[in-house]
Structure 1
Amino acid sequence: MPSFRDTAYAAFLFDMDGTLLDSSAAVERVWRRWCDRHGIDAEALIAVCHGVRGEDTVRRFATPGMDVDAEAAWLNAAELEDVDGVVPIAGIHDLIAGLAPDDWAIVTSAPRNLAEIRLAAIGLPVPAVFVTAEDVTKGKPDPQGFHLAADRLGVAIGECLVFEDSPAGVAAGNAAGAAVAIVGPRVPAEEGRYAIADYR
């Protein structure tokens, strides 16, 4: 498979969790606690929660009468307190260090306060264009976030490369019309233009 470094792109649009950093241990710890509180099948939820806004996952698994907003707030508060085991994807610091501020953006399903804490935990800066859960009305797999990032950077989405690790994120990148680089093992390589284990 070709390397993404062999093609010139107007901008790189990065997902965060699983793409810039590995937060899977923390994410799954919190979701398991939430599932235990409500008698929900944790394995079924964890199989589909990565790359999706927390509120959308809560809505999908909500029990009758559940207050989705309150539960999403509980999840966010719990995740803010748990950055144990959050680590960078290998090579990401060197890649980001070589990019100009208008060459990249983050498009994450995480709320802004949580995204900032996780980026700080691995020593990455908050980019000039930073699209978080609050910035969109439809989360991934809807492409709205990637279109918004490209617009804010002033580039055409078709000239961007999206880095994603989850089925929802890859679907969003493809639906947006961007090239997609799949990071890690969660999505079959053939669903993207590139497939990488890390950035080394």
Structure 2
Amino acid sequence: MHYVTEDELREAYAKAPFGTYELPENARLTPSARQFLIDFRVDFDSGEGEQAPRAHGQAAAKGVRGEGPCDLGALVHDANLLGARLRLLARRSLGIDNAVARRAEALGRRWQEARTPADLVADQPKGDVVAEPPGPPPAPAFDAAVHPVFFEMAYVHAQLGRYARAWDNARGTAGPEEARTIGTWVSQAALMCKELEEAVSRAEGEV
């Protein structure tokens, strides 16, 4: 089964904006792809035999919670993509902010190498997880003394936040174990975002 990602939809939309979207045969939307269609008010088939209504913003996300079972295979796919992005950030941060580089490499490798949902939460606490998605990304000062990698950190923060918010919305369709896995993953993303915020703040403090 093919999972249509947000990046695929963004690329297609950039080439030619569309008001309706037809899901390919044997394909499903990742939560972030679904959220993209909702945010851009695109009519689309949910893949569950129901036509998703036009909606917008957080209220729209809540309105589609009951459309189908939560598919954690899509979470693994999203984590793989974000893991690769974190590892690239880790490589570029070496020698500039080694604390962020080490954390981004460790989390990014775990996510990039994950093959099952259990891989995403291995060695994590088994108790109930109360996940709070990340807030808005930091905005580094436009100053020559602020290294470009801190702008990249803000960009990665925005990506992590968008995916985390989409998956936090998807928890409403999940069973208890799936919801715990999603909550743990969202918490990991939020902690990484907090480290990125602190790194940007330190960089600005040194200017």
* TM score, norm. by length of structure 2: 0.28
Q: Of the two, which has the highest radius of gyration? A: 2
More helix by share: 2
* TM score, norm. by length of structure 1: 0.29
